Amino acid sequence: MSDVLELEDLEDLECELEAADAKAGRTARRRTAIHDIEPGAAWNDVEHAILTRRSIRKFKGRQVPAHMIRRILEMGRFAPSQGNCQPWSFVVVRDKAMIAEMEQYCVAVCKNMTASVDYTNYPPGSEQRAAIMENTQKLNRASPNSFHPVPMTAIKSIANGRFAVFHKAPTVILILVEERGVGVPEVDIGVTGTNIVLAAQSLGLGTCWVGFSRLLSSNAALLEKLGVAPPFEIAEAICVGYPIGNPTQQTVSRQTHQIVWWEGGEKQILY
């Protein structure tokens, strides 16, 4: 007999355990539920939460009860991580004045950024425009992702006060990353954050990831107030609150990426 435990062996084992539990009148201790889903079956609760989640950028003024925030953080705590390192820590900000201070600082940073890279602020043909354009082109070549049109447009809107960084949410969860985590700790941050966001969705709360929260990292005084200290740094934030309107009605486009599917010695391309 092979010393590798096959799935079928595991199922047999679980059946034996179930039978033993039933005989002894104990509650079944089966840990894995095996569902045979027919093609085209209705989405289950988890799938439904994934499909109906939207990024929420308009929140009611009402605060979310603390116990609900604790509850979604608990889902984040149970996220998988490489080597089970759990390289995260959470800072929950529910204080209006503190959120306003965080917002103001990010706006100031965005104002500085647009002043130094956005040549459209200056009249065509002007010396200033030419100098800033040259600077921007250099920076763009050195770090193309940072100057992608989407973040740059958002940075300009933040600087002009047309787009709030923390979306005036009543609760902001900062997710800190511990850089000493094994592998790629930022991936683990994405995993714990996804658990939080989906748990919030299942409870009727709205969330929005805020990558711009990293702008806070250059404000030592604010970091100290927030309790962010090495080896931790701000990786992401998630705004939480009660959504205004019915955001699940809005559709956000998704690409259909091709899937390489290897099976039975053959490679297929699926969509």
Ligand X SMILES: Cc1cc2nc3c(=O)[nH]c(=O)nc-3n(C[C@H](O)[C@H](O)[C@H](O)COP(=O)(O)O)c2cc1C
Q: Six-digit token pair at 52?
A: 């109906």
Taking CB under 6 A as the binding criterion, the range among 24-32, 105-113, 173-181, 210-218 that sits at the site for ligand X is: 210-218
53 vs 117 by CB, closer to ligand X: 53
Total site size for ligand X, rule CB under 6 A = 10
Instruction: Give least dist CB 166 to ligand X, A.
Output: 9
69 vs 172 by CB, closer to ligand X: 172
Instruction: Give least dist CB 239 to ligand X, A.
Output: 8
Amino acid at 196: I
Instruction: Give least dist CB 153 to ligand X, A.
Output: 12
Query: Residue 26 to residues 29, 31, 142, 218: CA-CA distances in angstroms?
Result: 8, 14, 64, 57
The rounded distance, in Å, linking the Cα atoms of 166 and 95 is 13
132 vs 165 by CB, closer to ligand X: 165
Footprint on residues 251-270 left by ligand X (CB under 6 A): 252
What b/e sequence results for 113-130 when a residue is b if at least 16 CB atoms lie within 10 Å of its CB, and e otherwise? bbeebbbeeeeeeeeebe
82 vs 129 by CB, closer to ligand X: 82
Sign of CA pseudo-dihedral 36, 41, 47, 49: negative
Would you state the torsion angle of the CA atoms of residues 194, 195, 197, 200, taken in this order, to the nearest 10 degrees? 170
Instruction: Give least dist CB 139 to ligand X, A.
Output: 20
Cα 208 to chain centroid distance, Å, stands at: 8
- Single out the residue of 17, 49, 55, 108 in contact with ligand X (rule: CB under 6 A): 55
Question: Among all chains, which residue has been given the structure tokens 């090495």?
Answer: 230
Tell me if 156 contacts ligand X by CB under 6 A: no
57 vs 156 by CB, closer to ligand X: 57
Query: Residue 64 to residues 31, 71, 175: CA-CA distances in angstroms?
Result: 33, 11, 18
- Single out the residue of 113, 200, 210, 223 in contact with ligand X (rule: CB under 6 A): 210
- Single out the residue of 54, 75, 81, 102 in contact with ligand X (rule: CB under 6 A): 54
- Single out the residue of 109, 155, 175, 212 in contact with ligand X (rule: CB under 6 A): 212
Footprint on residues 85-124 left by ligand X (CB under 6 A): none
- Single out the residue of 161, 211, 227, 245 in contact with ligand X (rule: CB under 6 A): 211
Contact status, residue 150 vs residue 211, Cβ threshold 8 Å: no
Best CA proximity match to 162, nearest among 98, 111, 102: 111
Per-residue x/- marks for ligand X, 222-251, CB under 6 A? --------------x---------------
DSSP H helices, the chain, are: 7-24, 45-52, 66-77, 96-117, 127-142, 149-159, 185-202, 220-226
Q: Residue 156 contacts by C-beta under 8 Å, 6 or more apart in sequence?
A: 110, 114, 118
54 vs 156 by CB, closer to ligand X: 54
| Interface residue list for ligand X (CB under 6 A) | 54-55, 57, 208-212, 236, 252
